[in-house]
Amino acid sequence: MSSTGQAPPNIGRITYREHLTPDLAILRMQPADGSPVPDFKAGQFVALGLQFAGEDRVTYRAYSLSSPPEEKRYFEFYIKWATEPVMGKFTSALFGMKEGDDLYWRKPAGVFTIEDRKSDGTPDTRRLVLVASGTGVAPFVSYALHLKNIGSERQVVLLHGAKYAQELGYRDILEKIAMENSNFKYLSTVSRPDDELSRGWQGSRGRVETLLTGGDGSSQLENAIGQKVTPENSIFHICGYQGTIDSVVSILTPLGFVTNRNKRKDGSFDIKIETYG
């Protein structure tokens, strides 16, 4: 404990950095004292902190963990450099850092995790439909790796939308899991397919919500699972930008789905949300 009575902040070291594009990176950080990372649940986030010159307080920002809880050597993050409309304070500093540099971190937190039980206490065996835009895929990578590690047989469909094909982070890993496990499906789409960063892209075009709507009555999601989605057979988790969340919720609400932010009287819900701001 310090003289203020507060535990000293945790210090972490950047051990790995991989760029998908100049402003999109996978980073790994390990506790600087060499200890294993603390226990956490797939889907939780870690607040990373930096001390800016001339400021008394450390500035923290939340970042979802993309690594699974079984990975004790490091935390992995999938981070976009915020550049518009103005340069982001934290990410501009973070993208200037290199392997070996230190930063502060707070222990994992958050409730954007997989529910095993419904509000009435009965097991929740519904299919998990995970909808992500951009770096919102990070917690779902942690889910997918965790479910694989524990040999779960839960049905999972992951829908990921990005601007460019090159920004479909973790695509190789997710496609491999889908190939090896018939319970896991991965659908991806690109909203700027004609850009240089999407060169060679032959897959779906449009934002991620287009995978939930279909001209002929059934969507790409429903074609993939061979069934209409209902609150009885599917629970949705949505992560990413507010626009994506609003669009997906507006598609699902007429189908009878209810979000965790607006639960039914009995506490039940069929959509769980995490907004990145």
Ligand X SMILES: Cc1cc2nc3c(=O)[nH]c(=O)nc-3n(C[C@H](O)[C@H](O)[C@H](O)COP(=O)(O)OP(=O)(O)OC[C@H]3O[C@@H](n4cnc5c(N)ncnc54)[C@H](O)[C@@H]3O)c2cc1C
Positions touching ligand X (CB under 6 A) are 45, 61-64, 77-80, 82, 84-86, 88-91, 110, 135, 138, 274, 276-277
Strands lying side by side in the sheet with 271-275:
204-205, 184-190, 156-162, 127-133, 234-240, 271-275
Considering the complex, what minimum distance in angstroms separates the CB of residue 89 from ligand X?
A: 4
Least distance from C-beta 111 to ligand X, angstroms? 10
Q: Which is nearer to ligand X, 75 or 90 (CB)?
A: 90
DSSP string, 178-221: HHH-TTEEEEEEES-TTSGGGTT--SEES-GGGGG--TTSS-HH
Minimum separation from the CB atom of position 233 to ligand X (A): 28
Q: How far is the CB of 15 from ligand X (least distance, A)?
A: 18
**172: amino acid identity, one letter:** D
In the complex with ligand X, which residue's Cβ is closer, 110 or 206? 110
Residue number of the CB atom closest to ligand X: 88
Whether 66 and 45 have beta carbons less than 8 Å apart is answered as: no
Minimum CB distance to ligand X, residue 41 (Å): 13
Q: Is 72 helix (H, G, I), strand (E, B) or coil?
A: coil
- Tokens 């999938």 appear where? 78
Query: What are the backbone angles phi and psi of residue 171, rounded to the nearest 5°?
Result: -60, -45
In the complex with ligand X, which residue's Cβ is closer, 144 or 225?
Answer: 144
Whose Cβ is closer to ligand X: residue 24's or residue 225's? 24
Contact 167, 196 (CB under 8 A): no
The residue among 141 and 225 lying less far from ligand X, judged by its C-beta, is: 141
